[in-house]
């Protein structure tokens, strides 16, 4: 399902203008409530919202139980503005809820809503990985992800994330206007299917920030491969937490920034 709206535009080329309709990826607010109390607002592309919330609450250490979450969805009439309440037993709410987000969580920002600089720290034991990937499989996986980027093909304005198992079998692929949202949707989808442990490789269509690395770390995914650049903090986190981080993976080229022993090249 494509997630775009048509907008009238004027395109100019060689001093010639044409009026036409242009498909733009939808960006709309999603208010997330926990036990009827507002938690945060996320700017996202609609659809797969419960996957997004499941992945987000997992990454934020708010809910990591195996029991399914209960969702109550209220849809506003004004352009995909939804409110979703998540019911969680108070005894099962994780410590991450104490760092309650008080700001608008923007889809392209990794640290929006964090109260203090220490809030961006991730703690835990490094991933103990025994899985290795042949570099000649990477472009084949990207081709699979690209073939499912219907919203991007229609609008040119969405990001994608895809998760694969140890045999390079595609497990899930999601699109969203936000890089982090696409990751959350993928992780949330596999959490709901109770198949997150199968995920060994994460492909992302954009750049990698520290937060994407932290989401992979919590999900125990040892390899991240990106089309675009990696931030310095993403590389630092990847080295510390045992994640192979690859950027600028295009055609037959790639740049390995952390834990190259996971790749046979």
Residues classed as catalytic? 109
Pairing of strands 4-13, 16-25: antiparallel
3 state SS for the chain: CCCEEEEEEEEEECCEEEEEEEEEECCEEEEEEECCEEEEEEEECCCCHHHHHHHHHHHCCCCCCCCCCEEEEEECCCCCCEEEEEECCHHHCCHHHHHCCCCCECCCCCCCCCCCHHHHCCCCCCCCCCCCEEHHHHHHHHHHHHHCCHHHHHHCCCEEEEEECCCCCEEEEEEECCHHHHHHHHHHHHHHHCCHHHCCEEEECCCECHHHHHHHHHCCCCEEEECCCECHHHHHHHHHCCCEEEEEEECCEEEEEECHHHEEC
Q: Are 53 and 105 in contact (CB under 8 A)?
A: no
Q: Are 204 and 224 in contact (CB under 8 A)?
A: yes
Alpha-carbon distance of 43 to 177, in angstroms, equals: 8
Q: Are 247 and 114 in contact (CB under 8 A)?
A: no
């Amino acid at each position: 399902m494509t997630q775009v709206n048509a907008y009238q535009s004027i395109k100019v080329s060689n001093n010639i203008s044409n009026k036409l309709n242009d498909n733009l990826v939808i960006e709309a607010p999603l208010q997330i409530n926990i036990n009827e109390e507002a938690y945060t607002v996320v700017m996202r592309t609609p659809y797969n919202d419960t996957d997004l919330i499941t992945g987000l609450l997992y990454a934020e250490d708010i809910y990591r139980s195996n029991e399914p979450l209960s969702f109550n969805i209220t849809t506003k009439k004004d352009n995909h503005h939804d409110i979703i309440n998540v019911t969680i037993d108070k005894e099962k709410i994780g410590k991450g809820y104490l760092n309650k987000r008080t700001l608008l969580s923007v889809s392209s920002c990794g640290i929006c809503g964090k109260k203090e600089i220490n809030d961006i720290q991730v703690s835990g034991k490094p991933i103990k990985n025994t899985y290795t990937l042949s570099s000649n499989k990477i472009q084949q996986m990207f081709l699979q992800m690209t073939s499912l980027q219907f919203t991007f093909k229609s609008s040119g304005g969405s990001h994608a994330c895809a998760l694969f198992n140890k045999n390079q079998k595609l497990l899930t692929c999601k699109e969203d206007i936000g890089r982090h949202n696409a990751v959350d949707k993928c992780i949330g989808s596999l959490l709901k299917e109770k198949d997150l442990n199968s995920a060994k490789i994460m492909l992302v269509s954009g750049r990698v920030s520290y937060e994407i690395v932290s989401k992979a770390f919590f999900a125990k995914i040892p390899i991240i491969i990106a089309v675009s650049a990696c931030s310095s903090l993403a590389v630092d986190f990847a080295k510390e937490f045992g994640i192979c981080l690859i950027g600028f993976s295009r055609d037959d080229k790639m740049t390995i920034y952390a834990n190259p022993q996971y790749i046979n090249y």
